[in-house]
A and B are shown apart, each in its own frame.
Chain A
Amino acid sequence: MDLEKLATNFQQKINEEIKIEPKDWMPDAYRKTNIRQISQHAHSEIVGMLPEGNWITRAPSLKRKAILLAKIQDEAGHGLYLYSAAETLGISREEMLEQLHTGKAKYSSIFNYPSLTWADMGAIGWLVDGAAIVNQIILCRTSYGPYSRAMIRICKEESFHQRQGFEILWVLSQGTKEQKAMCQDAINRWWWPSLMMFGPKDDESPNTAQSLAWKIKIKTNDELRQQFVDMIAEQVKVLGMTLPDPNLKWNTKKLHYDFGEINWQEFWNVVNGNGPCNKQRLNARIKAHKDGAWVREAASAYAAKKNQPQSKVA
């Protein structure tokens, strides 16, 4: 089949919602976009373990400690599924990690913010996992089969993440004066960054049109962001807390919440490496990888020895 025919077939499949599988023909740019997006997502899961990992040893009760550990362990699992999904496109995990460590690949900027108090474990679960779910539920329908299936598995676990976060904040909101203040402070710090998780505005998002045509994306950044605002603006009332936006208001005509302007300068600053924790997060990942090199080498050396039949290794 010639190239034109292949391309037509490909787009037809997309239009008919037939998943693209690893062995199917696909345009180079489709492959590249998927590798970029899936690996970025995988890196986000792994780097995302760090701000929460920061509180495991200080969790205020044994029950909270167990829930937090299990939650972070889930994120490691999500990273694994996603690295495997990306590998089906012909890139190795080692290459992807290399791209992360050299800064060539990005991860979600949200994890460049610090987790300063216990209430941040609540705010991260509620807002950050909450924003991730809005993104990911829609990604279950994405056109690349392995990515779509990974998202379906991940989404099943994510709702527990948001619930445990909300529950942490709920308990704080019912607690002492100090706990209430801690709760509001965490919401204030995580609200705007979580809105930024949906990416630039549609008219400034260079890849959106093509990604929509290929159904790598199903909804635009702004559509998803609006959906998230509408959801959180209601939930925050249950906590008896507020969102730090004087312009947040229900719009009776649009049947959506209006909200204030995101600080895009801050957004680009963090993307470009100037967030409060960019260096710290990346260095932690690089250190873990470097410190672990001898362990991985030993494991493969041992496996190689054992696969050599009859060769006597003392």
Chain B
Amino acid sequence: MSKQHASVTNEHKINYILYLADSTLILSHRNSEWCGHAPIIEQDIALTNIALDLLGQARSFYQYAATLIGNNVTEDSLAYLRIENEYKNLLLTELPNDDWANTILKQFYFSVYQYYLYQQLLNNSDEQIVAIANKAIKEVVYHVRWSGEWVVRLGDGTAESHQRMKNAIENLKNYIGEMFIAADFETALQIDVNNIQQQWQEKVNATFAEATLPLPENIFNHTGGKNGVHTEYLGYILTEMQYLQRTYPNAVW
């Protein structure tokens, strides 16, 4: 970040807001890949709705970050003109959709995390962050319910859906931990990741029990997203997303 007079806290705050923005934008991008291709129209609409909510949240965060950064930075320059190692999103959010079970579980993990995180942010000292969290949490309540109901439905549906959920649990298990390992900017902002983790785990345990699904075992934590070290997938996402802005620099759309 090329801000000359930024204090340490401001620097951390900007990075933290970008972390929130990037994670929501990238998961929104993945969800939007389903648009027109979901298993049934009603669910196509529901998932697109979540993509739209997440995109809206990302825009609020980017717009706020842009005001803190200054220098003619905009929501679009933040989304479209930063490269892979400047993105701070969770690795979980950039993973491919794979099947409906994997998509649902990714969303469920992330939404439950967002829910407890935003609850904590409601007490943040920054009014703007409180305002964004306050608006977003109403949406997230619905995302948790929608994805949680699907976890139960698929876990306790047919033998095939149960097996596919188990595969998804296996696929994603090493990307859970990153949510709860504090990056510098989280520590600086006094985000209590342990508290979020505890509540997250309780909610997941309860939902998995209802879904007759086993909890993940033998977990290894892949990390790096928060500090700009990503999977190979992110490069392709950004290549696609940023194509027009990169091809026609300074054009207005």
* Contact between A298 and B161, CB atoms less than 8 A apart: yes
* Contact between B158 and A301, CB atoms less than 8 A apart: yes
A49: contacting residue among B35, B58, B59, B244, CB under 8 A: B35
Per-residue B-contact encoding for A286-307, CB less than 8 Å = 1, 0 else: 0111011111111101100100
B contact residues, range = 35 or more
Taking A64-B253, A80-B42, A292-B100 as contacts, is the C-beta distance between A298 and B35 under 8 angstroms?
Answer: no
* Contact between A56 and B157, CB atoms less than 8 A apart: no
* Contact between B253 and A58, CB atoms less than 8 A apart: no
* Contact between A62 and B76, CB atoms less than 8 A apart: yes
* Contact between B48 and A73, CB atoms less than 8 A apart: yes
Complex alpha-carbon distance, A179 and B251, angstroms: 8
Taking A60-B253, A61-B76, A294-B160 as contacts, is the C-beta distance between A284 and B37 under 8 angstroms?
Answer: yes
B156: contacting residue among A64, A179, A302, CB under 8 A: A302
Interface residue ranges of B38-56 to A (CB < 8 Å):
38-45, 48-49, 51-52, 55-56
Q: Does A72 contact B (CB under 8 A)?
A: yes
* Cβ-closest 10 pairs across A and B: A292-B39, A298-B157, A298-B161, A60-B253, A49-B36, A295-B39, A60-B244, A53-B36, A288-B37, A302-B157
Query: Which residues of A lie under 8 Å from residue B39 when comparing CB positions?
Result: 288-289, 291-293, 295-296
Q: Which residue of B lies closest to A56 (CB)?
A: B32
Query: Which residues of B lie under 8 Å from residue A287 when comparing CB positions?
Result: 37
Complex alpha-carbon distance, A109 and B131, angstroms: 47
Per-residue B-contact encoding for A59-79, CB less than 8 Å = 1, 0 else: 111111110011011001101
* Contact between B156 and A313, CB atoms less than 8 A apart: yes
Q: Which residue of B lies closest to A48 (CB)?
A: B36
- Which of B36, B157, B237 has the most C-beta atoms of chain A within 10 angstroms of its own C-beta? B36
Complex alpha-carbon distance, A57 and B243, angstroms: 10
Complex alpha-carbon distance, A66 and B36, angstroms: 16
Complex alpha-carbon distance, A66 and B56, angstroms: 8
* Contact between A50 and B160, CB atoms less than 8 A apart: no
* Contact between A288 and B38, CB atoms less than 8 A apart: yes
25 CB-based A-B contacts, threshold 8 Å: A46-B41, A49-B35, A50-B36, A56-B35, A57-B29, A58-B240, A58-B241, A58-B243, A61-B245, A61-B253, A62-B55, A62-B58, A62-B75, A62-B76, A62-B79, A63-B59, A66-B59, A76-B44, A80-B42, A288-B38, A292-B39, A294-B160, A299-B153, A301-B161, A302-B153
State the majority secondary structure of interface residues on A. Answer: helix
Q: Does B220 contact A (CB under 8 A)?
A: no
Taking A62-B75, A284-B37, A295-B100 as contacts, is the C-beta distance between A305 and B251 under 8 angstroms?
Answer: no
Q: Does A175 contact B (CB under 8 A)?
A: yes
Complex alpha-carbon distance, A289 and B51, angstroms: 21
Q: Does B192 contact A (CB under 8 A)?
A: no
A contact residues, range = 35 or more
Taking A179-B248, A305-B156 as contacts, is the C-beta distance between A73 and B32 under 8 angstroms?
Answer: no
Taking A57-B32, A175-B251, A301-B158 as contacts, is the C-beta distance between A295 and B241 under 8 angstroms?
Answer: no
Could you tell me the distance in whole angstroms from the C-beta of B58 to the nearest C-beta in chain A? 7
Q: Does A178 contact B (CB under 8 A)?
A: yes
- Which of B156, B212, B253 has the most C-beta atoms of chain A within 10 angstroms of its own C-beta? B253
Complex alpha-carbon distance, A313 and B162, angstroms: 14
* Contact between B248 and A178, CB atoms less than 8 A apart: yes
Listed in ascending order, the chain B residues whose CB lies under 8 Å from chain A are 25, 29, 32-33, 35-45, 48-49, 51-52, 55-56, 58-59, 62, 75-76, 79-80, 99-100, 152-154, 156-158, 160-161, 164, 212, 237, 240-241, 243-245, 248, 251-253
Complex alpha-carbon distance, A302 and B160, angstroms: 12
* Contact between A72 and B42, CB atoms less than 8 A apart: no
Query: Which residues of A lie under 8 Å from residue B35 when comparing CB positions?
Result: 49, 53, 56, 69, 72-73
Query: Which residues of A lie under 8 Å from residue B33 when comparing CB positions?
Result: 56-57
Could you tell me the distance in whole angstroms from the C-beta of B251 to the nearest C-beta in chain A? 5
Could you tell me the distance in whole angstroms from the C-beta of A278 to the nearest C-beta in chain B? 16
Query: Which residues of A lie under 8 Å from residue B243 when comparing CB positions?
Result: 58
Complex alpha-carbon distance, A292 and B32, angstroms: 17
Query: Which residues of B lie under 8 Å from residue A63 when comparing CB positions?
Result: 59
* Contact between B36 and A72, CB atoms less than 8 A apart: yes
A118: contacting residue among B55, B100, B252, B253, CB under 8 A: B253
Could you tell me the distance in whole angstroms from the C-beta of B187 to the nearest C-beta in chain A? 29
Could you tell me the distance in whole angstroms from the C-beta of A197 to the nearest C-beta in chain B? 20
* Contact between A62 and B62, CB atoms less than 8 A apart: yes
Query: Which residues of B lie under 8 Å from residue A62 when comparing CB positions?
Result: 25, 55, 58-59, 62, 75-76, 79
Question: What 7 new A-B contacts, CB under 8 Å, besides A65-B55, A179-B251, A288-B37?
Answer: A49-B35, A60-B245, A62-B59, A70-B52, A168-B253, A288-B36, A298-B153
